[in-house]
Amino acid sequence: MITSETAYFEILRKPKISEVKCIVLDYDGTLTTLRKGWDLILTDYAREKINPHGLECDGLDEEIRHLCAHAGGTTPKQLVSRLMAIMDKMNLIDKSEIKSIEHYAKDYADHFQEKIDERVKRFATESESYVIKAVRPMLDFISAKNTINYIVTGSCEIAVKEELNKLNMMHHFERVYGASLEMDGNLKLDAMQEIIERHQLSPCEVLIIGDGSTETRAAAELNLPAIGIASDEHSGGLCQKKRAMLSDLGAHAIIADYTGFENVWNWLHES
């Protein structure tokens, strides 16, 4: 482990690497913190839909905590289908009042985006407060290495592209794979497989960087090298909860931010 006041780089196990030709990055919590506090937005929305009349109900808090814990990387339909299952289970609303999965998917997406748009409106003066430390030097570094770079995110594809353009980062990426209301399946796993096939890459030529369980599990399933970024989105530095989760799921190394990313790159390419 290399750690100092300015860098944290924890080596867990060495992945099989020949030469990194393609880098697939998550977005929220990996490049930006624009959606920090998403779990509070989801919690409030879920409580309103499950228990609109504010009735006393044992177990509701735990159900919502479980919903939030497994929300990362899911498509809108997958998320609200779990929400609707809780609505049915808790039985706090008349069945005739429950709407379609398509309704809730759009309703929640619109509700969530309204909250994020309030932050986007302040981009002119606050944009740098919403990016992970040293992310711009990291992106310049990998672009200089001529890697093919992708973003794969569970957030709305259109919104993420707009944000990247406003942050002047979009030019670093070949494409953004993001969620849409119609999408189903395992978004991140499917995207990684498509990228590998498109460029005819071997697993030892692809690097995954993310802070969530979905991309880390997908990397493990496809036998891809994975760097976990365990950044505290609210105060910076290392988030111990993320660090433990990423370690348990099989990340090969963990960083707190992109300070000293060249050290990570050099380690990956050591023979």
| pTM (2 d.p.) | 0.87
Residues 101-139: tens digit of each pLDDT:
999 999 999 999 898 888 888 877 877 888 999 999 999
Based on the domain organization, do 221 and 144 belong to the same domain?
A: yes
Range of the domain at 247: 2-33+131-268
Based on the domain organization, do 29 and 42 belong to the same domain?
A: no
Percent of the chain scoring above 70 in pLDDT: 97
Based on the domain organization, do 107 and 136 belong to the same domain?
A: no
Residue 169 within a domain: yes
Number of domains in the chain: 2
Residue 126 within a domain: no
User: Is the pLDDT score of 5 beyond 50?
Assistant: no
Based on the domain organization, do 97 and 195 belong to the same domain?
A: no
Residues 43-59: tens digit of each pLDDT:
999 999 999 999 989 99
Based on the domain organization, do 51 and 114 belong to the same domain?
A: yes
Closest CA to 16 of 260, 238, 266, 226: 226
Residue 53 within a domain: yes
Residue 22 within a domain: yes
- Quick one: DSSP state of residue 28? B
Among 51-65, 67-81, 162-176, 209-223, the range scoring the smallest mean pLDDT is 67-81
Among 72-76, 168-172, 249-253, the range scoring the smallest mean pLDDT is 72-76
**How would you list the strands of the sheet with 226-229, edge to edge?**
2-3, 8-11, 253-255, 226-229, 206-210, 22-25, 148-156, 175-179
